[in-house]
Amino acid sequence: MKLVVKSIQIYIPYELSHLTAIIKLIKIVINHLSQPNNLTTIRDIYYQDVEIFNKKQQECKKLLIDVFEDSLNWSLINDLNIHPTQKGLFFDSFSNEPMLIPINFENYFENKKFCINDLKIVVVEKDAVFHSFCQFLNLNSNSVKELNYIIITAKGFADKLTLRFLSFLNSTYKPIAIYGFFDSDVYGIMIYKQFNENCGNSNLNFNGIFLFDTNPISWLNITNRDFKIMSKMSNDINSSTHRELSRGMFFHKKVEMNVVSNKDGKDETTNYNQYIFNKTFK
């Protein structure tokens, strides 16, 4: 790859004490670009010399942006093939355990034989719920062995890689449905909205958890700050999430999926896993 710089105006807002880190960073990037099929992450660059970045991965990221994006106007991803640290996880019907979403996920899925007509995608807000549900599917493998599915989480608000991954799945495999499971609170709805805007603004369904699906013993109080944000959001969301916001504002309550009440006498973990399973596969 040949990068052409027409004009360079370097402004790096660091004191001279950071000069060593800048020089080291440039050497690391030059070495990275010289490798065949070069592809790396900010995390990988950071761990090549944690001391030089004061043991702070965020400092490595900021330095990369200052030197290469702000000063040289190069894209870390498109020009240098340096990607954000992977955050999102996925689990599919071909896997035995959850995996980080690959940076080159197009290549990973090239050999996957999903049936286009019946693929289901499930987006789960919370990491703990995601892992529990994946374990639930493994334990109930006979019930899903003929199904094609992909479970995704970004552990809260989604990073760009997870959003691109979901968009790729949606456009490539055209799933029959994308099911979303988020907390019934302002932040869960904000995370749903972020995902939905990146997969067609209509393809991702908000399937719960809903306030009225749970025992009031599981409800939590919302703060005044939450109420104000909910009020501002209420005119900018779809009908199902608008209803959920309205209910939350009326009762001044919210519910989080990982503290779902034990309504039916079963273990609580089984309860929310069964809740997702019933809404997705039954």
Beta strand ranges found along 23-155 (DSSP E): 40-41, 82-83, 89-92, 99-100, 119-124, 148-153
Kindly tell me if the per-residue pLDDT of 114 is higher than 50.
yes
Run of H or E residues at 275? helix 268-281
CA neighbor of 129 nearest in space, from 220, 260, 253: 260
Query: What pLDDT is stored for residue 141 in this prediction?
Result: 78
Residue type, 113: K
Residue 254 sits at φ, ψ, to 5 deg, of -145, 170
Query: What pLDDT is stored for residue 243 in this prediction?
Result: 87
| Between residues 202 and 31, the one the model is more confident about | 31
| Between residues 111 and 273, the one the model is more confident about | 273
Residue type, 263: K
| Between residues 140 and 268, the one the model is more confident about | 140
Q: How would residue 8 be classed by pLDDT, with cut points 50, 70 and 90?
A: very low
Pairwise CA distance, residues 86 & 104, whole Å: 11
Query: What pLDDT is stored for residue 111 in this prediction?
Result: 66
Q: How would residue 221 be classed by pLDDT, with cut points 50, 70 and 90?
A: very high
Query: What pLDDT is stored for residue 140 in this prediction?
Result: 82
The model's pTM is 0.77
Query: What pLDDT is stored for residue 269 in this prediction?
Result: 44
Kindly tell me if the per-residue pLDDT of 264 is higher than 50.
no
Mean pLDDT over all residues of the chain? 81
Pairwise CA distance, residues 165 & 199, whole Å: 10
Q: Specify the DSSP class assigned to residue 66.
A: I
pLDDT tens digits, one per residue of 144-194: 777 888 999 998 888 888 998 998 888 888 888 899 999 999 999 999 988
| Integer-rounded Cα radius of gyration of the chain | 22
- The DSSP result for 215-262, as a single string, is -GGG-EEPPHHHHHHHHHHTTSS-HHHHHHHHHHHHHTEEB-GGG---
Query: What pLDDT is stored for residue 154 in this prediction?
Result: 92
Q: How would residue 46 be classed by pLDDT, with cut points 50, 70 and 90?
A: confident
pLDDT tens digits, one per residue of 49-95: 888 888 888 888 888 998 898 888 898 888 888 888 788 999 988 77
Query: What pLDDT is stored for residue 152 in this prediction?
Result: 94
Query: What pLDDT is stored for residue 261 in this prediction?
Result: 47
Q: How would residue 113 be classed by pLDDT, with cut points 50, 70 and 90?
A: low
Mean pLDDT of 239-247: 84
